[in-house]
Amino acid sequence: MAHQITFLQLEALVAIADMGSFEAAGRKLGSVQSGVSRHVRELERQFPKPLFDRGSRSARLTVDGLEVLAQARAILQQRDVMVSQYVSKKILRRSLRLGVTELAALTWLPAFIDALRSTYPLVDVELEVGGVAADLYEKLRLAQLDLAIVPDAPRWTDILRFPLASVRNGWYCSPAFSLKRRRLAVSELGQLTLLSQSADSAAGHEMSKWLERNGVQPRNILTCNSFAALGGMASAGLGIACLPNAISGELVTLGLLREVQVAPVMPPVRYVAVARHDALTPFHRRIITLARATCNYRTRYQDAATREALAEKAEL
């Protein structure tokens, strides 16, 4: 008599496929490797052919295993849909694997986490902060993340996109930086040392395309995929940096940077929440709604907290 297929068995199969090994699957599921192996053995007994290639060192699925994997994903997604629709938000227990870029972590991420914990107090957030959006897109595609909040990248055509906000970047340099005028044509930037994220990042890619459209080939570009570090490099007088207002604002206020007006201006970078077609549930849609309500890329979280504290003090 066949045993009953369980959610634990299906979760083990999906986790192994996503994480690449039994050991990594155990860490993801909060289990030991032997427990994951047991669930897989029990699942394989239900089928006439093996689901994994035992001759391979890696956890490689057979053709039959890939077919079962597709069905397992669909079943688990339907379970998540039912749970997220009918279980109270206050008692819903599940994990959320979320990826964000540095700018979100420096601005609105604390407000978002507060809203998430207030709405779903028992949801366990597994957060990954990445410097380059392409890394998060790839992890989402490999099912290592449930959602990612990243700059839009149209080349990822197999991903669902949900618009959140747009961010404008400006040009900033040290007051001591050798610059005769504070208003420049874009053609003049090519003669300066530019500080930017790499072309693999959305901001760096947008800047490169903008320069190319305007016929500018920079003489020298120093790249770093941290906006915070780029602000420090500009403050040190190493060049003129392409920065969002949230990063440049305090440095300008402190007199460490000054803004340089460049015409024409660069187009804004659009930020989106992204998800896989086969993994989006009502729960994830509600998380995206929370992100849309809290995302504010214009102000660092420290600055927002300071303003709130001052406002509360003024009311007393």
- Output phi, psi for 193, to 5 deg: -80, 120
Tens-place pLDDT, residues 277-298: 878 888 899 999 999 999 999 8
Among candidate residues 164, 138, 170, the one with its CA nearest the CA of residue 151: 164
Q: Tell me the β-bridge partners of 150.
A: 272
Residues 157-172: pLDDT tens digits?
778 999 999 999 999 9
- Output the average pLDDT for the chain: 86
Give the model confidence (pLDDT) of 103-131 as tens digits.
Answer: 999 999 999 999 999 999 999 999 999 76
**Is the pLDDT reported for residue 306 higher than 70?**
no
Task: Please name the helix (run of DSSP H) or strand (run of DSSP E) that holds residue 168, with its range, or none.
Answer: none
The answer to pTM > 0.85 is no
Per-residue pLDDT, 87: 65
Q: Which residues pair with 260 in a beta bridge?
A: 171
At 203, is the pLDDT very low, low, confident or very high (cuts 50, 70, 90)? confident
Q: pLDDT tens, 66-76?
A: 888 888 888 88
Number of residues that make up the chain:
316
User: How confident is the model over 229-253, as pLDDT tens digits?
Assistant: 999 999 999 999 999 988 898 899 9
- Which residue would you say has higher pLDDT here, 10 or 112? 112
Give the pLDDT confidence score for residue 23 in this predicted structure. Answer: 85
pLDDT 10s digits, 205-230 = 888 899 999 999 988 999 998 999 99
Residue 310 pLDDT: 42
Alpha carbon distance 102, 122 (integer Å)? 26
Q: How far apart are CA 198 and CA 217, in angstroms?
A: 15
Domains of the chain: 7-86 (1.10.10.10), 95-157+275-315 (3.40.190), 169-267 (3.40.190.10)
Question: Which residues have a Cβ under 8 Å from the Cβ of 172 and sit 6 or more positions away?
Answer: 231, 234, 240, 241, 243, 248, 251, 252, 257, 258, 259, 260
User: What is the DSSP secondary structure assignment for residue 267, as one 8-state letter?
Assistant: P
What are the structure tokens assigned to 75, written together?
């079943």
User: What integer pLDDT is reported at residue 1 of this predicted model?
Assistant: 40
Query: Alpha-carbon distance 41 to 9, whole Å?
Result: 9
User: Residue 50 pLDDT more than 60?
Assistant: yes
Q: What is the mean pLDDT of residues 11-31?
A: 83
* pLDDT surpasses 80 at 88: no
